């Protein structure tokens, strides 16, 4: 538990399932107030809201497409009207789809870039406006991936979006450091969420993925939520511009693990 979080207010995008839901619920366990964003799955967001209230936090579910400026503003307005402040903004919402790059439709490229990269820009801009206008410190957490640094054939648009998130985040970290605004990425490896449901249901693909993780297990959403809580808290007050990998060592060139090469 991080005592300073108790009075804080957060926006978590893509909070209806997976990592966003786990982060929102963890924040709720810290006693925070949370705007839980959802795109289409209102039921999922309401489940998260209930879990947060049961844990002692306050929460509301707000629909918004984070790829639109109106959408992210709606989230900020909800934080202000419901809870009267904003301290932490988690740009978690994201998507992926597979395609060989020579067959990658422009429409698919645009959709992934718009959600994963433009959505992070719009959410960060919205939070920054609030922090600057109110002359207050704040914390932005952007969900990147091990694929901000590891190339991922047939997911070129996804890797491009996450590489973009990394340098965007480092840039705003530098740009706003003297105002007490921190911006960091979390870089998950392979985590057990709906995005991986089909892949992990196939025993062969599951085993292949585990074999790429030096710690020998798929991550759980709570592993990522713990990192988010720490980054949001005062315990991380001197940390800005990093990517905190939560990946069981996946980004450490696992093929070298036993001295190969
Ligand atoms: P998920 O598919 O379970 O959840 C994604 C969430 O984003 C959903 O709630 C979805 O509704 C929301 N979303 C998508 N487009 C949206 C839009 N336009 N507006 C608002 N919400 C939107 O995926 P998961 O695993 O929870 O992923 C969360 C983030 O973590 C993503 O950015 C993903 O790229 C990243 N990540 C996940 C990894 C994993 O292994 N699960 C690994 C590395 C990164």
Is residue 187 helix, strand or coil?
Answer: strand
CB of 80 closer than 6 angstroms to any ligand 1 atom: no
- Measured from the CA of 116, which atom of ligand 1 is nearest? 32
Under 8 Å CB-to-CB from 54, ≥6 apart: which residues? none
Determine whether 253 is an active site residue: no
> Using an 8 Å Cβ cutoff, are 161 and 260 in contact?
no
Q: Considering 158, 176, 206, 238, which one is annotated as catalytic? A: 158
Task: Please give the CATH superfamily to which domain 3-248 belongs.
Answer: NAD(P)-binding Rossmann-like Domain (3.40.50.720)
Question: Would you state the structure tokens that stand for residue 48, as one six-digit string?
Answer: 């998260």
Cα first-last separation, the chain: 42
140 Cα: distance to centroid of ligand 1 (angstroms): 17
Instruction: Report the C-alpha gap between 13 and 36 in whole angstroms.
Output: 7
Question: Would you state the structure tokens that stand for residue 108, as one six-digit string?
Answer: 């698919």
Can you give the pLDDT of all 261 residues of the chain as single tens digits? 999 999 999 999 999 999 999 999 999 999 999 999 999 999 999 999 999 999 999 999 999 999 999 999 999 999 999 999 999 999 999 999 999 999 999 999 999 999 999 999 999 999 999 999 999 999 999 999 999 999 999 999 999 999 999 999 999 999 999 999 999 999 999 999 999 999 999 999 999 999 999 999 999 999 999 999 999 999 999 999 999 999 999 999 999 999 999
Q: What is the ipTM of this complex?
A: 0.99
84 Cα: distance to centroid of ligand 1 (angstroms): 27
Domain ranges of the chain: 3-248
Instruction: Report the C-alpha gap between 185 and 163 in whole angstroms.
Output: 11
pTM for this prediction: 0.98
Question: Would you state the structure tokens that stand for residue 212, as one six-digit string?
Answer: 């790429």
């Amino acid at each position: 538990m991080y005592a300073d979080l108790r009075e804080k207010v957060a926006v978590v995008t893509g909070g209806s399932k997976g990592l966003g839901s786990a982060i929102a619920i963890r924040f709720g366990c810290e006693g925070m107030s949370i705007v839980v964003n959802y795109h289409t799955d209102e039921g999922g967001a309401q489940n998260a809201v209930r879990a947060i209230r049961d844990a002692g936090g306050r929460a509301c579910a707000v629909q918004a497409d984070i790829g639109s400026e109106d959408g992210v503003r709606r989230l900020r307005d909800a934080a202000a009207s419901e809870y009267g402040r904003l301290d932490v903004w988690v740009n978690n919402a994201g998507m992926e789809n597979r395609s060989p790059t020579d067959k990658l439709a422009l429409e698919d490229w645009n959709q992934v870039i718009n959600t994963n990269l433009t959505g992070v820009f719009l959410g960060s801009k919205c939070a920054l406006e609030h922090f600057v206008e109110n002359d207050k410190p704040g914390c932005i957490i952007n969900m990147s991936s091990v694929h901000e640094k590891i190339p991922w054939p047939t997911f070129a648009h996804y890797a491009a979006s996450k590489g973009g998130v990394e340098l965007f985040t480092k840039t705003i970290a530098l740009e706003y450091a003297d105002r007490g605004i921190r911006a960091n990425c979390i870089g998950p490896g392979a985590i057990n969420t709906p995005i991986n449901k089909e892949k992990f249901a196939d025993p062969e693909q599951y085993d292949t993925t585990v074999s790429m993780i030096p710690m020998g297990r798929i991550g759980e959403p709570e592993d990522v939520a713990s990192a988010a809580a720490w980054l949001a808290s005062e315990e991380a007050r001197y940390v800005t511009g990093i990517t905190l990998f939560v990946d069981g060592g996946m980004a450490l060139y696992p093929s070298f693990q036993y001295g190969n090469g």
